[in-house]
Structures are given as structure tokens and as C-alpha cells.
Structure 1
Amino acid sequence: MLAELFAVMAPVLAGAGLGYSWIRLGHPYPVEFVTRLVFNIGTPALVLASLSGADIDAGSFGRTMLATALVLVAMAGVAFGLSWLLRRDWRVLLAPTMYPNTGNMGLPVVLYAFGSSGFVFGITVMVTVALFQFTLGTMLVSRGNPLKTLVKTPTVYAILISLGLLITDTELPLWLDNSVDLISGFTVPLMLITLGVSLASIQVRSLKSGIGFSLMRIPVAAVVAWGVGQLVGLPPLATSILVLQMSMPVAVFNYLFAQKAGREPEYTASLVFCSTLLSLIYLPILLAILM
């Protein structure tokens, strides 16, 4: 079991460690460019490559999206409780409580722990979280129309195309399938490297509060995800991956949104950093239970 857990965590540590070391050695890294590349090209390609030929029916796909949405709504309620306990503005804690790192860290862990069959559910959870984050999240930090954000999000179209393929039991043409598969290949490695770069770039000033928040949020998220999975009737594999994904550390994007909104970005940085460090301890334990 220990060898299996190490095999899962080693690629995550290697990728993130590479990005972290790259910055610490003084090399430049175009975070904004890579983020746009991954979000606008890599992620849609990954969604198409993973879902177009996946062994998942439209019903399971829809239930997984619904379950993820319900967990996010429940965690929004948890954010108000945490804000009262920690004596912080609820607007500061809402995003870190709701949005775990289901992309940069979650997808690699799911891939190496559960293989391609589980990766499909991991992708489904990730895109649902991303849709919430880049619509509701954008609405909270600006006065823009969230519908415009949806229209401009390539992942939405990748989801719609994948749903159409799943419903009609149709496969992509071989030339397109090969092209999408090739392009999607850079997504997970770049996600991990960018995670390491982000951790090396943010400044942490409050380790105690970051660790305290993580110790409260993580078990609650796991229990809520398991309960919602049972309520919706997800298959055991999908439930395990929902629990794993929603227990991931705080997403780096929350720090970027906090900076944009001017809502205690230094505090949010500590939540990202501390929860990611703690994940190296609790994720192997969680994986031992779920695998």
C-alpha cells in the first residue's frame, strides 16, 4: 500500500517541486500566459480527450456535476460558520472554503490513483468547480455579467460537445481525436509546474491561521462530499473521487481573486500555502481509505 501511495504522490511532488525550484533558482516563468494556455486550450482539450471516448453515460456525468454543485453550495454555507469561528469577513473565506484545487493538484492525484476510469469523474468535478469559480467568483469580485464569462469560456463548449457525444454514443473523428489527445498532454504537467511556481511566488505571513482553517475545512468537505454522493446515488468510484477532489487544498486562483477584489490577499495566500503543505500529510491517509 505504501508503494502505491508513493507512486500516486511522487509525480505530484516532482511536478510541483520542479516549478518551485525553477522560481527559487531565479528563472522567469510566465504565469499569466501559462494559465491562459491551460485554461483556454489545455483544459477544453483535456475534457474532450477524457470524455469523448470515456466509459461513462450521460446520466452518471450529469449526477456527478449535480453532486459537485450541491457540495459547493453546502460549502458556501460552511464558509459562514468558519467566518464566525475565525472572526473573519465571510467574503474573505467564501471562495477558499468553496473552491479546492481540483485542477492543478486534484487531477494528477486522481489520474495516478484511479487511472483513466476515475479520471473521467475527476474531470467532471473539476469543470463544475471551474464553472462556479469563474462565474460566481467573477461576479463577486467585479460587476461584470457572469453570463458573458460563460460564453467566453472554451471549457463550456467542450462540455457541451462531450455531452452530445455521450448522448448520441458518437466518437470523434480519428484525426480530431489524435489532435485533441496530443494537445491535452501538456495540461496536467503544466498544472503541476504552475502550482509549484505559485507556491514559490506567494508570501505567507500567518501560518497558524492557515493551518487552523485547513484543519477545520478538510474533514467537513470530505464528510459533505460523501453525504452528497450517497444522496445523489453516485457510483462508489465517483463518490470516492468527489470526496478526494473536494478535500484538495485551497486553489491558487482564490489568491488571485482576493488580490483583484482587495480582500486580504495575504491571508488567502496563507490558506493556499498551508493547506497545500498539509495535503502532503493527509492526502496519503485519505487515499489509503478511498483506494
Structure 2
Amino acid sequence: MLLTLLNIIIPVFAVTGLGYLFARKRSKAPEMDFINSVNVHLFCPMLIFSALLANPVDLASDWALVVAGVAIILLPGLLLWFVRPAAVNSSAFLMTGMFRNTGNMGIPLLMLAYGKEALGDIIVLFVISNTLHFSVGIWLISRSRGAWGWLRNPNVWAAVLGITLAPVREQIPLFIQTTVDMLGQVSIPLMLFSLGVRMASGRISQLGLALRINLLYLVAGLLSVTLILLVLPLSPLWVKMLVVTAALPPAVLNYLLSEQYQADTDTVASVVLLGNLLAVVVMPLVIALTLTW
């Protein structure tokens, strides 16, 4: 099992580490804005479309996964409301605890852990998180301004298109499918590399507070999974995916949104950076646990 775990973990953190080292070796911080924009608006939508085309999702039979995907985001927010620290902006605290790094870290970890045959389900969880982040998340942090930003999110429309065209996949010319596949394959390593670059430019202040908040997030996430399992009929694979998702560190996008809306930016930056550093220890343990089931 150790070799299996290493085969899952090492590629993810190796690419992230290369991004970190690349940024640290530069006298000037690399300009990643354009690359990240291309990834978000082109490569990632192509990955979503390609994955859903190759791994059709039946929303009628997979309704429990969809509901669980929504619940694993909203439930932690409800639980965290009762333990929010007085010293931290409540909206920033809740948003950062609800939305995890399902893109940069979640997709590659889940795919390596459970195989490409699970990619369709993995993408469903990612699209749900992404859509809610650009709707509920922005609503939380902006106090209702810009809550309809998800309509401009290409990842949402790529998912809609992929689910719609999956039944007629054989009629789509092979050269189109190959082109889409090639573009989509760029997304995951670029996500990881970009995460490493972003971590190299961050700093942690209020270490004790950031550590406590990350522990609260982890407990709230795993408790939410327990509550979901009491209600929904989930397959063993879906349960494993939810547990890993609940243990993921906060998404880097939380920091960008807190900066945009001026909501406790320093604290959010510290929590996000520390959470992603702690993932080097937390995620191998969680994945090792799920591999024993």
C-alpha cells in the first residue's frame, strides 16, 4: 500500500514543488496572471468537457453524488458559523472554510487515487464547487454583490456541454475530440505548478490563529461527511471521494476574492498558505485511510 500511496502523492507534490522552486529561484516573482487566466478560461473547461464526454454522468442515477457535492460545501459553512473567531471577518472565515482546493489539488489527487474511470464523478464535484464558489462564495464575501458571476464561468458551460453531448460522442469527429483532450491535459500540471508559484510568494502571519482555523476547517469537513452518510445512499467510491474532498486545504481563490473585496486579506492568505503546506502531511494520511477500506 505504501508504494500505491507514493505513486499518488509524489507526482502531485513534485509538480507543486517545482513551481515553488522555480518561483523562489527568480529574483523577480513570475507573472502567472496570464497563464492562470488561460488555464481557467481554456484548458480547464477543455478538461471538464473532455472528461464528461469520455465518462458520461447520468444525473438521474447520480443524484446522490450531486446532492453530496453541494452538501459538503454548505454544511461546513453552517457548522463553522457557530465557532467563528471574533478576531476574523466572518464572511472571509466561512468562505475559506467552505471552498477547498478541489482544482489544483483535488482533481489530480482523486484521479491518481481512484483511477481515470472515476474522472467523471471527480469533475462533477469540481464543477459543483466551482459554481458555488462563484455564486455563494462571492455573495458571502461581497455581501450580495456579483453573486451571478457563475453565469460567466466557462467551467459551468463546459460541464453543461459535456453532459449534453456525451450520449452522441461517437458522432463527434475524432480530430475534435483529440484536440480537446490535448488542451485539457495541460490543465492539471499547470494547476499544480501555479499553486507552487503562488505559495512561494505568500507569507504566514498569526501562525497560531491560522493553525486553529485550519483544524476547525478539517473537523467541520469530516463531521459534514459523517452527517451526509447518515442521509444519502453513496457508493464506497463516492464516500472515499467525499472524505478526501473534505480534508483538502482551502482554495487559493479564497485569497484572491478576499483581496478583491478587502475582507481580512492577511488572515485568509495565512490560512490558505498554511493549509496547503499542511496538506503535505494531512492528504497522504487521509488517502492512506481510504485505501484500506
TM-score > 0.5 by shorter chain: yes
Higher mean C-alpha deviation, range 55-64 or range 96-105: 55-64
Partner deviation per Cα, 1:27-78 (whole Å, 9 max, x = no partner) = 5533221221111111111111111121643335443222111221111112
CA distance in 2, matches of 1:60, 1:289: 28
Q: Indicate if the aligned counterparts of 1:64 and 1:238 stay in contact, CA closer than 8 A.
A: yes
Equivalent residue, structure 2, for 1:232: 232
Whichever residue aligns with residue 33 of structure 1, its letter is F
Secondary structure, counterpart of 1:233 in structure 2: coil
Q: Indicate if the aligned counterparts of 1:255 and 1:268 stay in contact, CA closer than 8 A.
A: yes
CA shift for structure 1 position 196 = 0.4
CA distance in 1, matches of 2:226, 2:117: 19
Equivalent residue, structure 2, for 1:5: 5
Secondary structure, counterpart of 1:185 in structure 2: helix
Identity of aligned residues (%): 25
Q: Do residues 181 (structure 1) and 181 (structure 2) align?
A: yes
Equivalent residue, structure 2, for 1:155: 155
Q: Indicate if the aligned counterparts of 2:96 and 2:254 stay in contact, CA closer than 8 A.
A: yes
Partner deviation per Cα, 1:221-244 (whole Å, 9 max, x = no partner) = 023124324522222112211221
Q: 1:50 to 1:144 in 2, by over 3 A?
A: same
Q: Do residues 33 (structure 1) and 34 (structure 2) align?
A: yes
Higher mean C-alpha deviation, range 251-260 or range 131-140: 131-140
Whichever residue aligns with residue 60 of structure 2, its letter is G
Higher mean C-alpha deviation, range 134-143 or range 209-218: 134-143
Whichever residue aligns with residue 195 of structure 2, its letter is L
Partner deviation per Cα, 1:181-212 (whole Å, 9 max, x = no partner) = 00001100010011101111112112211111
Q: Do residues 221 (structure 1) and 221 (structure 2) align?
A: yes
Equivalent residue, structure 1, for 2:64: 63
Equivalent residue, structure 1, for 2:73: 72
Tell me the C-alpha RMSD between the 2 structures.
1.9
Equivalent residue, structure 2, for 1:270: 270
Secondary structure, counterpart of 2:54 in structure 1: coil
Secondary structure, counterpart of 2:203 in structure 1: coil
Q: Indicate if the aligned counterparts of 2:141 and 2:263 stay in contact, CA closer than 8 A.
A: no
Q: 1:145 to 1:204 in 2, by over 3 A?
A: closer
Whichever residue aligns with residue 147 of structure 2, its letter is P
Q: Which ranges of structure 1 fall in alignment gaps of 5 or more residues?
A: none
CA distance in 1, matches of 2:62, 2:34: 31
Q: Indicate if the aligned counterparts of 2:69 and 2:128 stay in contact, CA closer than 8 A.
A: yes
CA distance in 1, matches of 2:240, 2:215: 20
CA shift for structure 1 position 89 = 3.0
CA shift for structure 1 position 150 = 2.7
Equivalent residue, structure 2, for 1:132: 132
Q: Indicate if the aligned counterparts of 2:56 and 2:163 stay in contact, CA closer than 8 A.
A: no
CA distance in 1, matches of 2:255, 2:241: 25
Q: Which ranges of structure 2 fall in alignment gaps of 5 or more residues?
A: none
Higher mean C-alpha deviation, range 60-69 or range 104-113: 60-69
CA distance in 2, matches of 1:228, 1:169: 34
Higher mean C-alpha deviation, range 250-259 or range 54-63: 54-63
Q: Indicate if the aligned counterparts of 1:230 and 1:239 stay in contact, CA closer than 8 A.
A: no
